Structure 1
Amino acid sequence: MKALVLEEVHISRNGSHFQVIAVSAQFSGMSLVKKQQMIYLPLMEYIADNRIHALSIKAYTPEEWQRDSNK
């Protein structure tokens, strides 16, 4: 799997609970599950040792983000 390149990322945190909004052209054509797997993969160490207890992910292509972030 190639490295994930994000055009934009927004992270909010409350203790060990995180919300991630990620925008990448690499998400184009991917299912929601595949997009989330791309975000989870580099974070697995932090999830495994409980530095990240809960993680909410919203992943968008740039076009989806432009459309949905203006609502």
Structure 2
Amino acid sequence: MVALAQVEDMIKAQLPDAQVVVRDLTGGGDHLEAIVVSAEFEGKTMIKQHQIVYGALQDAMDSEAIHALALKTYTPQAWEAARQ
């Protein structure tokens, strides 16, 4: 199991400008949801955005500290639109 703050730190190490929210979906600490907003996603497909985040979390996922991850990625502009 990995702490939510650690997951956030791993993502921010890859995407320093990111706003990150990580939630435990099951209470067991290994099924997580992450919402990531970053300007680095500009011009990238959703698949590429997700690959960037998965790359940041690769070690935790390989060791099964994170068993499942529901991932939502946004550019800052898309995030603002989604919040309205």
Consecutive unaligned residues in structure 2, runs of 5 or more: 1-13
Q: Describe the shift of the 1:6–1:57 C-alpha distance in structure 2 as closer, same or farther (beyond 3 A).
A: farther
TM-score (norm 1): 0.87
Higher helix share: 2
> Displacement of 1:7 after TM fit?
3.3
Question: Could you tell me which amino acid in structure 1 is paired with residue 69 of structure 2?
Answer: L
Query: Is structure 2 residue 46 aligned with structure 1 residue 35?
Result: no
Query: Is structure 2 residue 70 aligned with structure 1 residue 50?
Result: no
Question: Could you tell me which amino acid in structure 1 is paired with residue 56 of structure 2?
Answer: P
**Relative contact order higher in (CA < 8 Å, ≥ 6 apart):** 1
Consecutive unaligned residues in structure 1, runs of 5 or more: none
Q: Which runs of 4+ in 1 moved over 3 A?
A: none
RMSD between aligned residues: 1.1
Number of residue pairs aligned between Structure 1 and Structure 2: 68
Higher strand share: 1
Q: Percent identity?
A: 34
